[in-house]
């Protein structure tokens, strides 16, 4: 297998840059559509989280499994989720990955190693742990990576899955995206610790905190954990500190977040930072940035058009596929 290097090279950096930009472009468009009343569904934006979304996911290899939550559309892009798929699923069309059956943000594709999550948080922590169990039982060198927010770590599923992965020595990288809020609730109302990663001690596994707005750091630490897991080193709990730069969902103006806090975090925008880094490295310049803007804008426009022109499913499809025949 052609495993990605621990230290990302030029190709890796450019790939990641593209996915971050694509993710942001898709979300900006979704937001416009939502505000224009074009979407029947809720939207959960990951704006501001692009570094950890892309960095962690990009650290996986083809056979691995990523289990995102409602907010992690961007994490799925490096694994092959397309803008078309995002829009057709939000537009609830017949040709979407869930054929209009699943909710807008809850899609996946096993062939690409993408679990389609449910709303209950963090139910896919145990489920991804089970994928890792299958890998271990079959002697496959594959890794599972579930994501969840800091809020979700208060639930029993977090505890049970970390403990199970620890006891069974499973190849799981548990990623917690600590974006400062669970809906309107700040972390201090959810837990007494300031670092979720400290909870790793309770399972005798490594706990790592990364700057969730620094994609190189996110990628490096995720990659280390992934390869450690792949080599039989067991699970890791990786916490990324970042900020949810939008409301919980499209309808939420997030008045409970102070303007200063948003301004502060805007200074740390993960894409701006990465662009500076790439420019310093000589891997990007003004033209490159412009070209990328054009590329993702076009991709998004094309995808949106495709979705809008796609048909809805027929009503009677409501009762198909309940069972595997």
Partner 1 sequence: MSTANKPKETSYIEAISQALWEELERDPSVFMLGQDIGDYGGAFKVTEGFLDKFGPERIIEMPIAEQGFIGMAIGAALMGMRPIVEVQYADFISCGWDQIVNVAAKMHYRTRDAVPMVIRGPSGGGLRAGPFHSQSPEGWFAHVPGLKVIVPGTAHDAKGLLKAAIRDDNPILYFEHKYLYRRVKEVLPEEEYVCHIGAAKVQREGSDLTIVTYGAMVQTALLAAEKAQSSGVSVEVVDLRTVFPIDKETVLNSVAKTSKAIMLYEDTRTLGIGAEVSAIIAEEGFEHLDGPIIRVSAPDAPVPFSPPLEDYFIPQVEDVLAAIDRLSAY
Ligand X SMILES: Cc1ncc(C[n+]2csc(CCOP(=O)(O)OP(=O)(O)O)c2C)c(N)n1
Provide the binding-site residues for ligand X, judged by CB under 6 A. 71, 119-121, 148-152, 155, 179, 181-183, 244, 248
Q: Which of 75, 35, 70 is nearest to 222 (CA)?
A: 75
Q: Which is nearer to a copy of itself, 202 or 301 (CB)?
A: 202
Under the criterion CB under 8 A, does residue 205 sit at the interface with a copy of itself?
yes
> Which secondary-structure segment (H or E) carries 239?
strand 236-241
Neighbouring C-alpha atoms within 13 Å toward the C-beta of 58: 31
Query: Which of a copy of itself, Mg ion, partner 1, none lies near 179, with the C-beta cut-off 5 to 8 A by kind?
Result: Mg ion
Under the criterion CB under 8 A, does residue 168 sit at the interface with partner 1?
yes
Residue from 154, 279, 297, 310 that binds partner 1 (CB under 8 A)?
A: 154
**Contact (Cβ atoms closer than 8 angstroms) between residue 223 and residue 4:** yes
Task: Give Cα separations from 205 to 134, 168, 199, 236, 245 (angstroms).
Answer: 20, 12, 9, 6, 31
Residue from 4, 21, 93, 224 that binds partner 1 (CB under 8 A)?
A: 93
How far apart are the C-alpha atoms of 68 and 163, rounded to whole Å? 20
Q: Which is nearer to ligand X, 103 or 221 (CB)?
A: 103
Under the criterion CB under 8 A, does residue 163 sit at the interface with partner 1?
yes
Under the criterion CB under 8 A, does residue 204 sit at the interface with a copy of itself?
yes
Under the criterion CB under 5 A, does residue 48 sit at the interface with Mg ion?
no
Would residue 244 show up in a list of annotated catalytic residues for this protein?
yes
Within 10 angstroms of residue 249's Cβ, the number of other Cβ atoms is: 17
Q: Which of 121, 116, 104 is nearest to 42 (CA)?
A: 104
Q: Which is nearer to partner 1, 286 or 324 (CB)?
A: 324
How far apart are the C-alpha atoms of 300 and 286, rounded to whole Å? 21
Q: Which one is catalytic: 112, 183, 256, 312?
A: 256
Residue 140 CB, nearest approach to a copy of itself (Å): 23
- Which range of residues in 182-190, 198-206, 225-233, 234-242 is near Mg ion by CB under 5 A? 182-190
Query: Which of ligand X, Mg ion, partner 1, none lies near 71, with the C-beta cut-off 5 to 8 A by kind?
Result: ligand X
**Contact (Cβ atoms closer than 8 angstroms) between residue 178 and residue 186:** no
Under the criterion CB under 8 A, does residue 183 sit at the interface with a copy of itself?
no
Strand ranges, E, within 68-214: 144-149, 173-178, 207-211
Q: Which one is catalytic: 230, 244, 246, 263?
A: 244
Would residue 256 show up in a list of annotated catalytic residues for this protein?
yes
Q: Interface residues for Mg ion in 113-172 (CB under 5 A)?
A: 149-151
Q: Give the binding-site size for a copy of itself (rule: CB under 8 A).
A: 22
How far apart are the C-alpha atoms of 142 and 61, rounded to whole Å? 8
Strands 144-149 and 65-67: parallel
How far apart are the C-alpha atoms of 144 and 135, rounded to whole Å? 9
Q: Interface residues for partner 1 in 41-70 (CB under 8 A)?
A: 41-42, 65
- Which range of residues in 50-58, 198-206, 257-265, 311-319 is near partner 1 by CB under 8 A? 311-319
| DSSP-derived secondary structure for 91-123 | TT-TTSTTTT-S-TT---BGGGTB----SSTTT
Tokens standing for residue 311: 């048909």
Q: Which is nearer to ligand X, 42 or 220 (CB)?
A: 42
| Positions marked catalytic | 244, 248, 256
Note the residues at the interface with Mg ion (CB under 5 A). 149-151, 179, 182
Residues engaged in binding a copy of itself (CB under 8 A): 154-160, 163, 166-167, 189-193, 198-199, 201-205
């Amino acid at each position: 297998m052609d495993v990605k290097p621990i230290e990302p090279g030029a190709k890796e950096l450019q790939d990641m840059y593209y996915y971050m930009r694509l993710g942001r472009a898709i979300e900006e468009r979704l937001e416009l559509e939502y505000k224009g009343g074009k979407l029947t569904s809720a939207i959960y934006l990951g704006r501001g989280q692009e570094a950890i979304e892309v960095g962690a996911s990009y650290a996986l290899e083809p056979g691995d499994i990523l289990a995102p939550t409602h907010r992690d559309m961007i994490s799925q892009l490096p694994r092959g989720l397309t803008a078309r798929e995002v829009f057709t699923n939000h537009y609830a069309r017949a040709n979407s990955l869930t054929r209009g059956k699943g909710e807008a943000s809850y899609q996946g594709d096993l062939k690409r190693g993408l679990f389609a999550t449910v709303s209950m948080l963090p139910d896919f922590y145990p489920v991804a742990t089970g994928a890792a169990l299958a890998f271990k039982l079959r002697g496959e060198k594959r890794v599972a990576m579930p994501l969840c927010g800091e809020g979700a770590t208060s639930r029993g599923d977090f505890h049970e899955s970390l403990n199970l992965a620890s006891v069974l020595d499973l190849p799981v990288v548990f990623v917690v995206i600590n974006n400062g809020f669970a809906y309107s609730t700040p972390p201090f109302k959810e837990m007494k610790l300031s670092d979720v990663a400290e909870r790793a001690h309770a399972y005798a596994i490594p706990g790592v905190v990364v700057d969730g707005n620094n994609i190189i750091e996110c990628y490096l630490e995720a990659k280390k954990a992934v390869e450690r897991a792949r080599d039989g080193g067991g699970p890791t709990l990786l916490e990324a500190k970042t900020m949810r730069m939008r409301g919980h969902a499209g309808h939420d103006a997030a008045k409970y977040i102070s303007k200063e806090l948003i301004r502060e975090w805007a200074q740390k925008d993960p894409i701006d930072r990465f662009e500076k880094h790439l420019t310093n490295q000589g891997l990007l310049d003004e033209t490159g940035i412009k070209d990328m803007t054009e590329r993702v804008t076009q991709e998004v426009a094309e995808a949106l058009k495709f979705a809008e022109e796609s048909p809805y499913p027929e009503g009677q499809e409501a009762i198909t596929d309940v069972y595997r025949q």
